[in-house]
A = this chain, B = another copy of it.
């Protein structure tokens, strides 16, 4: 049906130790991936085509296929190349909540630095080296919590998915995730929703639940992930207490 996930994994996992062959001239995997990331950064995922990347590198389209099995594989390589984990997450943190919040902040920055990540055709659970490094760092934050390993895995999956979808929503709402598009959405909703069919929703709209307060600062008008994250972390806290008690 669709490409099996393991496509391209050999490339990612194969030469973790070998630094890089990197020929003086001609194509190379890393050059291709670098160019593809540049294209995606400036033009979005939809701008990423084999032809465009080859052109940017001064080669023909088919030359890319000497280094990459398929476009899907290239997307996977792009993802991994961009999803490196910042060093500040390496040091453990004795406050799991603070640790996870830091982890989320780093994710948020990474996802917004390359917002095309969130619209990659999703292909299952994390599997690339950097994805797993993220997972590892998050698990480490939960080290002292007394949760079972299965609990921890579930929590990490939950938090990671939350960050991904929230980042997606944030970028969907507008190129700058600005408050304006939220406002546009809000007024659009206000016009469509009648109290007959959507009583609870109408109430929420009238209460301004979909607005930002008019005196919000610029920063407050950025789409924010903290509300949902706080709920999730509260829930994790409850679980931790429950497991301990």
- Residues of chain A touching chain B, judged by Cβ–Cβ distance below 8 Å, are 1-2, 6, 9, 13, 44, 46, 119, 121-125, 127, 129, 132-133, 135-137, 139-140, 143, 148-150, 152-155, 157-158, 161-162, 164-166, 168-169, 172-173, 175, 185, 188-189, 192-193, 197-201, 203-204, 207-210, 227-228, 230-239
Contacts and interface: CB of A to CB of B under 8 A. Distances in A.
B165 A209 contact: no
Nearest to A139: B200
Nearest to A138: B200
Given A149-B209, A234-B238, A238-B238, A132 B201 contact: yes
Nearest to A185: B125
10 contacts: A123-B172, A136-B200, A139-B203, A139-B204, A149-B209, A157-B228, A158-B162, A161-B165, A231-B232, A231-B236
Contacts of A132: 189, 192-193, 198, 201
A185 B5 CA distance: 10
B139 A201 contact: yes
Given A164-B165, A232-B232, 9 more contacts: A13-B192, A119-B122, A127-B192, A149-B207, A149-B209, A150-B208, A155-B231, A161-B165, A231-B235
Contacts of A197: 129, 133, 136
Nearest to A186: B125
Contact of A161 (B166, B173, B201): B166
Nearest to A242: B234
Given A140-B199, A161-B169, A152 B232 contact: no
B150 A209 contact: yes
Contact of A125 (B125, B155, B169): B169
Contact of A143 (B127, B135, B200, B228): B200
B162 A161 contact: yes
A161 B166 CA distance: 8
Contacts of A237: 238
Contacts of A168: 122
B228 A234 contact: no
